[in-house]
Structure 1
Amino acid sequence: MSASHILVVDDEPDIRNLVKEILEDEGHEVVVAENGATARQALRDRRPDLVLLDIWMPDVDGITLLKEWGEDEGLPCPIIMMSGHGTVETAVEATRLGAYDFLEKPLSLAKLLLTVERSLEAEQLKQENVGLRRHSMPIHEPTGKSPMMQRLKEQVKRIAQHDTWVLITGEPGSGRETLARYLHMQSVRRERPFVDVAVSSIASENSARELFGSEEGGRIHYGRLEQAAGGTLFLDEVADMDLEAQSQLLGALDTGAFLRVGGTDPVSIDVRIIAATHKNLEEAVQSGDFREDLFYHLNVVPLRVPPLREHPEDVPDLLNFYVDHFVAHEKLPYRRFNVGAQNFLRNHPWYGNVRELKNLVQRLLILGAGDEVSQDEVEAALGAPELRSGDGGGDVVSFDLPLRQAREQFEKAYLEYQLHKHEGNISRMAKDVGMERTHLYRKLRSLEIEIKDRR
């Protein structure tokens, strides 16, 4: 499952087959191509993890293929050039075009294996660094020693040993992606890619191309499914996926193959799906916004990430974790939260969950002074403007959330207030808020607001 897929392109059959046998003995999955045409077809059939490419071939030379594959979106994977008639100029040109390395023939077995190993490791580190830059910190495991978090981590370790689909639910900012990455690192797929897809950020007209890739004029765009080959595809906010994309995804995962947009040949896939949402998918199924069959596929193993207010005993550990992180990675000054500040924060409602805590720590390290963070300083930092419902209750909209999630929290607080104000009378409420009753019912369901308890 973790074997790398390597393409060997060389017009000499003895070299082709020898390299194939050597790499297969090392546990890799190898396909071969004898010329440029078959090499192009091999890339259409499946995205490789590495290409060994001869320079001199009868139909098209390796430098031309290197240029062709590097156009538009860059090279699909590391490429090692091979030649028995190479010059310094040729090696420099190949490097300029993005080749990882240049091997001279006759090939040295030791150098071949070392170069292959290093190129695969470099590509893995490159992909990991992309994720770390995007998520700002390495993912080891969810922070917390509370019984609730310990049970959750043990549950993840057990699930990771089985290659089932997983559905992670939890409030925004609670750490759903951290848990998904932790699950991936505990699984047998840990050496293969973890590819995350922010479903809500993909326009419906582009969803097929993003997920399945495309072929146009001989050029190939590899979609997220192929990028995650052998590894894990993480679908964040899967409830926002449009129905057509849901249908295509279900078909691909049921059959183990799909067609790229504009393509004619099926592409095989081997990938684990982890999906996450903060919405109630059962409600989305009932309202017709989510496919029932896809829901049952995803819900084989459900995991719930608890909101921070349900395990406040982990707040001190989280404070220490983020202080250490910002000191190490952003060179911010070290400051210690005193006992009063920690106790106060243990009782904070944390509507933005762990993300809110992280942002608070960063703000206090940037703006504060002195070695110690006091309760007064914490209270002042938390005294930033908040949106509250009109009845004076505690429904707070955090300014630390992304716009879409903040808007959703505001809508929930607003409609909760209106529902309370009209004592559960939907007709009067619909007239007051300016919505049709059917649309209002659908909105209340999507926000998981109970109606019957208000009457």
Structure 2
Amino acid sequence: MTGSAILVVDDEPDIRTLVQEILEDEGYEVETASTLEEARVFTQDRTPALVLLDIWMPDGDGISLLKEWKAGGTLAFPVVIMSGHGSVETAVEATRLGAYDFLEKPLSLAKLILTVSRALEADRLARENLGLRQQLERSAYPEGESRVMQDLRAQVRRIAQHDTWVLVSGEAGTGKQTFARYLHSQSNRSARPFVEVAVASLAPDESAVELLGQEQGDRVRQGLLERAHGGILFLDEVADMDLQVQGRLLNALEQRSITRVGGSEPVAVDVRVVAATQRDLEELVREDAFREDLYYRLSVVPLKIPPLREHLEDVPVLVDHFVASLHEREGLPLRRFTSDAIQRLRHHDWPGNVRELRSVVQRLLILGSGDDVSGSEVEFALSGRGLRGTSETVGPISTDLPLREAREEFERGYLLQQLERAEGNMTRLAERVGLERTHLYRKLKALGIEPRKSRSDN
């Protein structure tokens, strides 16, 4: 069932044998060790799929070995601690060092099997996420060869060398997150996490757990601040953050430590904050809709991202980039945009900026045929969106698309049209489409739509 063995480390022969037999019956390959030294030698020779580690051993304690395994940075394999003499303090310490879970003896066989399964699945997902993160980091480069973009990238590289907070502003779809990731990649925190926070989804009554984490018995849940320790905390559309959440976040960041909900011991957090907004925070401060102290902390280093209409000479470079990335990531066909097609794209005003350009390129690769994209195809794609007129219809959906893609295409068009009619107001939009606001926000993000919020939408 696994590519490598589960290692059971325990000095009691009966427990080693029992756990081994149970896990082998579940289809796992299992090896055992009766001392910490045997476990140490095993992990030097090969990487286990998972380690079940007893704390009290004849040649030391399992927490010390866990510290050794963690010394190189992150654990190379998931670890589940077992002990008949455990305490909350021991469980918290083990979790802080990266252990996946803590099992008390006598072992519950059902819980053992479930914990092993979940630990292996969590490790698999973490490795997949790491691969995706590395892919994102490779693509975190603001494309464009215009003087505007060259100067902006140079400015970001200079800012990255200092550890001040940064406020990235610009219209929806200009690439604020891309610039934030580029700043991360150029900073001395590049090897540490980049944690994105969709602040509009942080409800005041849930934000403490989301930001600070939680301790419940021997279970520890890390919050966003702890996960971002050593790296960058990216606050996406920070203007949407509730005032109560703003205060809680600012207090934790200024103290440089947090106490998890249900916990008693402070946990150090060291994060650099990069925030993005398409709204005027200074005006929101005057309207008492945004904390003044947080605004001044964020605006120490402002970074303004220009709309695409101010550097239309970058359209050909961006088109080539999107064609290549969509081919690599989504398997879309490679199509060449003719000079007529490029000219038509360069003469569009792009109210949705770079994100809108990517969407149009994606649509042309999906729905078009032939090796070349013509100017007439571009004209049809731009004029046939059905998003800016008064028509009650969303527009035609190709019946050649798979059901999932056709549904997403319809939902995207429908929500964009409704968003336009709601004048960017998320409250009115939620009422129009009959969705709870948090769910609506997540739906928009999943479809690649960044709402143009009005000033009255608080």
Provide TM-score, normalisation by structure 2. Answer: 0.66
Alignment-mate amino acid for residue 381 of structure 1: A
Q: Distance in 2 between matches of 1:235 and 1:405?
A: 27
2:411 aligned with 1:387: no
5 Å matches for 1:351-390?
351-384=351-384, 385-387=386-388
User: After superposition, what is the alpha-carbon deviation per residue over 1:99-155, rounded to whole angstroms, capped at 9, x for unaligned?
Assistant: 599xxxxxxxxxxxxxxxxx8xx886433346589x8x9523111111111111111
CA displacement at 1:257 relative to structure 2: 1.4
2:98 aligned with 1:50: yes
Alignment partner of 1:205: what SS?
coil
Residues paired across the two proteins, number: 352
2:11 aligned with 1:11: no
- Work out whether residues 234 and 273 of structure 1, in 8 Å CA contact, stay in contact via their aligned partners in 2: yes
Q: Distance in 1 between matches of 2:109 and 2:224?
A: 24
Aligned CA-pair RMSD: 4.0
CA displacement at 1:337 relative to structure 2: 0.9
Greater displacement, 371-380 / 186-195: 186-195
- Work out whether residues 142 and 179 of structure 2, in 8 Å CA contact, stay in contact via their aligned partners in 1: yes
Residue of structure 1 aligned with 2:117, choices 85, 96, 121: 96
- Work out whether residues 170 and 278 of structure 2, in 8 Å CA contact, stay in contact via their aligned partners in 1: yes
Alignment-mate amino acid for residue 411 of structure 1: E
2:206 aligned with 1:206: yes
CA displacement at 1:273 relative to structure 2: 1.3
User: After superposition, what is the alpha-carbon deviation per residue over 1:245-276, rounded to whole angstroms, capped at 9, x for unaligned?
Assistant: 11111110011112323333322212221111
CA displacement at 1:159 relative to structure 2: 1.7
Q: Which residue of 1 aligns with 2:178?
A: 178
User: After superposition, what is the alpha-carbon deviation per residue over 1:208-239, rounded to whole angstroms, capped at 9, x for unaligned?
Assistant: 22212223454333221122222221110111
5 Å matches for 1:158-177?
158-177=158-177
Q: Which residue of 1 aligns with 2:338?
A: 338
Q: Which residue of 1 aligns with 2:225?
A: 225
User: After superposition, what is the alpha-carbon deviation per residue over 1:292-345, rounded to whole angstroms, capped at 9, x for unaligned?
Assistant: 101111112111111111111110011011111222222222111111111221
Q: Which residue of 2 aligns with 1:244?
A: 244
Q: Which residue of 1 aligns with 2:329?
A: 329
Q: Which residue of 2 aligns with 1:305?
A: 305
Alignment partner of 1:411: what SS?
coil
User: After superposition, what is the alpha-carbon deviation per residue over 1:36-65, rounded to whole angstroms, capped at 9, x for unaligned?
Assistant: 77674355469646339999xxx737x669
Q: Which residue of 1 aligns with 2:188?
A: 188
2:263 aligned with 1:281: no
Residue of structure 2 aligned with 1:127, choices 121, 126, 129: 129
Q: Which residue of 2 aligns with 1:411?
A: 423
Alignment-mate amino acid for residue 317 of structure 2: D
Alignment-mate amino acid for residue 119 of structure 2: G
CA displacement at 1:401 relative to structure 2: 8.3
Q: Distance in 2 between matches of 1:242 and 1:97?
A: 34
Q: Distance in 2 between matches of 1:282 and 1:412?
A: 20
Q: Distance in 2 between matches of 1:176 and 1:38?
A: 47
CA displacement at 1:93 relative to structure 2: 8.3
Provide TM-score, normalisation by structure 1. Answer: 0.66
- Work out whether residues 192 and 231 of structure 2, in 8 Å CA contact, stay in contact via their aligned partners in 1: yes
Q: Which residue of 1 aligns with 2:7?
A: none
Greater displacement, 272-281 / 200-209: 200-209
Change (3 A) 1:178 1:259: same
Q: Distance in 1 between matches of 2:170 and 2:109?
A: 47
Q: Distance in 1 between matches of 2:165 and 2:197?
A: 16
Q: Distance in 1 between matches of 2:82 and 2:63?
A: 10
Alignment-mate amino acid for residue 277 of structure 1: T
Q: Distance in 1 between matches of 2:102 and 2:216?
A: 25
Q: Distance in 2 between matches of 1:220 and 1:93?
A: 18
- Work out whether residues 100 and 119 of structure 2, in 8 Å CA contact, stay in contact via their aligned partners in 1: no
Alignment-mate amino acid for residue 286 of structure 1: R
Gaps in structure 2 of 5+ consecutive residues = 1-52, 76-80, 391-410, 426-452
Change (3 A) 1:162 1:383: same
- Work out whether residues 36 and 65 of structure 1, in 8 Å CA contact, stay in contact via their aligned partners in 2: no
Q: Distance in 2 between matches of 1:204 and 1:405?
A: 30
Alignment-mate amino acid for residue 99 of structure 2: V
- Work out whether residues 169 and 276 of structure 1, in 8 Å CA contact, stay in contact via their aligned partners in 2: yes
- Work out whether residues 9 and 39 of structure 1, in 8 Å CA contact, stay in contact via their aligned partners in 2: no
2:169 aligned with 1:148: no
- Work out whether residues 388 and 417 of structure 2, in 8 Å CA contact, stay in contact via their aligned partners in 1: no
Q: Distance in 1 between matches of 2:416 and 2:293?
A: 27
Change (3 A) 1:251 1:18: closer
5 Å matches for 1:426-437?
none
Gaps in structure 1 of 5+ consecutive residues = 1-7, 69-91, 102-118, 390-398, 414-442, 448-455
Alignment-mate amino acid for residue 340 of structure 1: D
- Give aligned-pair identity as a percent: 44
Q: Which residue of 1 aligns with 2:105?
A: 60
Q: Which residue of 1 aligns with 2:347?
A: 347
CA displacement at 1:160 relative to structure 2: 1.6
Q: Which residue of 2 aligns with 1:41?
A: 89
Q: Distance in 2 between matches of 1:187 and 1:46?
A: 31
Change (3 A) 1:381 1:52: closer
- Work out whether residues 281 and 295 of structure 1, in 8 Å CA contact, stay in contact via their aligned partners in 2: yes
Greater displacement, 258-267 / 186-195: 258-267
CA displacement at 1:201 relative to structure 2: 2.5
Change (3 A) 1:274 1:123: farther
Change (3 A) 1:380 1:145: same
Alignment partner of 1:203: what SS?
coil
- Work out whether residues 142 and 182 of structure 2, in 8 Å CA contact, stay in contact via their aligned partners in 1: yes
Q: Distance in 1 between matches of 2:181 and 2:94?
A: 25
